[in-house]
Amino acid sequence: MNSDQARKRAEKLFKKEERAQDGRQAMVEYKAHALAVREKTVRLKALRLTEGASRERIAEIGSQANEHHASPALKRRRSATSFRPAETTHIR
């Protein structure tokens, strides 16, 4: 009976160590996944910011082009609807 108890105790210790090892491995995988998610989030945020800046720049260039190529009548209509004082409005 003594050897049977020793064998059971050894199996119990082995299973305990195996569970601990599984826990350590799970934690490593969890941390690796969390790091990957953070890195992906940073990359996607940077892409969104650059895309937004590009859109703003395109809109700015487009509005400048519209102002530059607008007909005199359109320029008068735009200046008439603006809230700027008349003395600062430049009509060509």
pLDDT: which is higher, 36 or 49:
36
**The predicted structure's pLDDT at residue 60:** 80
Q: How do the domains of the chain map onto residue ranges?
A: 2-88
3-state secondary structure 22-77: HHHHHHHHHHHHHHHHHHHHHHHHHHHHHHHHHHHHHHHHHHHHHHHHCCHHHHHH
**The predicted structure's pLDDT at residue 63:** 75
pLDDT digits (tens, 9 = 90+) for 8-40: 999 999 999 999 999 999 999 999 999 999 999
Give pTM, 2 decimals: 0.49
pLDDT digits (tens, 9 = 90+) for 56-80: 888 788 777 666 665 666 556 656 5
